[in-house]
Structure 1
């Protein structure tokens, strides 16, 4: 614009100078001509020349005005167009260049500028719309982030409280595990003693089983011996019966002998002196018969006593056999009981051993649980510290989001204002 103005000033100065030179020359020539050819006073000639110069100046001015009329109109048109553009109206028309001078070049440059500004304004309007939408979305996101941050801060505060409670619970769990550990150690000691007692009981049960087996065998042996004794006692009874029969025969023989000796004594008495010796023999025979009868009676009495003893022995042996049979049954029952006891002790020993192994395993697992709980406690404490740090960071973030929210509200206001301004522009 300044260059155009300078060019116009130079052209105007040149035109004025040219016209002045022309009018001055014409005026001087006319004055000289009049002063030579016409008998006029010098002063009148000068006045006439001045008048002619004035007329020529006026005509030159009119000529200059006619020459500069079109550029001035073009400049006024350009000024009006620039004013419209300055007021935000980019919907202006430009005439096609005809002269090809600086004014046409100015209008062409102004048209290029308006087209460029219109394009930039269109892009700016689209960008302002996008900026407004983005700013509103960001503001909404910041608002949601602020609300989420508040929720996170509240959740982290609750989490921090819960973590502290978990730390307390973990310490209580550690104390409880310590108590359980001590109890399990005592149980392990008791189970060790129970295992020893079960081992002793199993050994004693095995010994009792062996003794019961030996007792059963001994009772069967006694029963066998008692049966043999009963058999021998029966044979003894038969033999005493045989002896009793023999003693009966001897008693009969002694009675007959006594009767014969009595008859012999009678016959010897009848014989007189001749039968005296025979009477002595008969008396001796009678005496022997009487002694034999006495001995036979004694033997019979002894045999009767032996029979009674044998019968008593047989009865006693029968009772003993019954008792032995009962004893065998009891011993066999005791053996079965000892067998059951042995199985039970083996089962008890197995169960006690299993419980002891479980106690040992549980003790190890409790140690592992204690170690794991300690690790968890350390992790919970570390998490609690991180939760507190996150809570502090959430508080700082909430403050930052509040500041960002305020800035975004200002940005939204600016974007809406820019959108209104670009919307007011006519393209």
Structure 2
């Protein structure tokens, strides 16, 4: 009976061990199935994460591009602002040059007007001088006529003195006193002839000088007329220049106003760019942080997958 009891116990024990082993095996298979499922799921997650990593790489590139854009926008804003200031400075200089040119043109016009006034005065003086020269010419002709008359009288007197001397010689002793008077008259006539000859030479020289002066005066009058004509032309040209500068000043004002408007607009854009720069910087930093966190998740997934492989 005891042996039979032991056999029964052994049979029960074996049966129990077998059931336990079967159960353990079933549990083990089930665990392996779960692990395989988890492993498959992890691979899917990793594959999906790899795709996400690719997107993260794109995000990282985007972050770098944003950073580059930020730098470019900053440089562009600065360059635009510098250009605006340069244009404003050039506009101010152009306006100043235009204003100075107008002032110089007005001064030039005043100088031409003064020159015209002076030439008009010279022309009047030259005309008066010509009139005086003509009057002197007429007077010199009158003097010549008088000198010729005196010369004729002297010649006739000389002839009369000669005749008187002849008659005195015929009278002999009675005509001696008359001869002396006739000789004095003859000498006076000769001296008169010499003086009239000298006067005639002087008058001829004066007439030649008057004629030369008249010709010079005519040339001067012609030069003055040409000077007046040229001055009038210069005056008109200066007037055109002044009018042109007035138009330039108007255009410069339009350009200046446009530049000032553009400068204000650019300043507004510059301020908006600063705000955009701050926003882009915030986006850039968030993208970088997101990529860094994603990189850590990727590392943790790789470690978990390795541990699961070791469990299989």
Q: Please say whether Structure 1 and Structure 2 have the same fold, judged by a TM-score greater than 0.5.
A: yes
Mean CA deviation greater in 320-329 or 358-367: 358-367
Max Rg structure: 1
Task: Identify the match of residue 126 of structure 2 among 226, 249, 259.
Answer: 226
Structure-1-length-normalised TM-score: 0.49
The correspondence of residues 281-292 of structure 1 with structure 2, limited to 5 A, is 281-292=181-192
Question: 1:241 maps to which residue?
Answer: 141
CA contact (8 A) 2:98 2:249 kept: yes
Report the equivalent of 1:251. Answer: 151
Q: Report the counterpart of residue 166 of structure 2 in structure 1.
A: 266
Number of residue pairs aligned between Structure 1 and Structure 2: 238
Equivalent of residue 359 in structure 1, options 259, 270, 273 = 259
**1-side partners of 2:167 and 2:59: how far apart?**
150
Equivalent residues of 2:66, 2:284 under 8 A apart: no
Distance verdict in 2 for CA 1:192–1:304, change over 3 Å: same
Match status 1:369 vs 2:269: yes
What is the CA distance between 1:345 and its match in structure 2?
A: 3.1
Alignment of 1:209-224 (within 5 A): 209-224=109-124
TM-score of the superposition, structure 2-length normalised?
A: 0.65
5+ residue gaps, structure 2, are 1-56, 289-312
Q: Of 228, 232, 236, which residue of structure 2 is paired with 1:332?
A: 232
Which deviates further from its counterpart, 343-352 or 330-339? 343-352
In the TM superposition, 1:8-27 aligns within 5 A as: none
CA distance in 2, matches of 1:339, 1:166: 60
- Deviation, structure 1 residue 167: 7.0
> C-alpha deviations, 1:387-424, integer Å up to 9, x for none?
99xxxxxxxxxxxxxxxxxxxxxxxxxxxxxxxxxxxx
Residues 379 and 207 (structure 1), Cα distance of their counterparts in 2 relative to 1, 3 Å cut: same
Q: In the alignment, is the contact (CA less than 8 A) between 1:195 and 1:349 conserved in 2? A: yes
Look up the SS of the partner of 2:111 in the other structure.
helix
**Alpha-carbon shift at residue 300 of structure 1 (Å):** 0.8
2:169–2:179 CA contact under 8 A, matched in 1: yes
Q: How does 1:13-412 map to 2 (within 5 A)?
A: 168-169=68-69, 171-378=71-278
Taking only aligned residues, the RMSD between alpha carbons, in angstroms, comes to: 3.3
Helix, strand or coil at the partner of 2:173? coil
Question: How big is each residue's C-alpha offset from its partner over 1:64-99, in whole Å with a ceiling of 9 and x where there is no partner?
Answer: xxxxxxxxxxxxxxxxxxxxxxxxxxxxxxxxxxxx
**Structure-2 change in CA distance of 1:299 and 1:368 (3 Å):** same
Structure with the bigger RCO (C-alpha within 8 Å, sep 6+) is: 2
- Separation in structure 2 between the aligned mates of residue 298 and residue 163 of structure 1, nearest angstrom: 118
Deviation at 1:386, TM superposition (A): 10
- Change in Cα spacing, 1:273 to 1:159, as seen in structure 2 (3 Å) is farther
What residue ranges of structure 1 are gaps of 5+ in the alignment?
A: 1-156, 389-427
1-structure distance, mates of 2:188, 2:268: 111
Cα pair 1:219 1:328 within 8 Å, conserved? yes
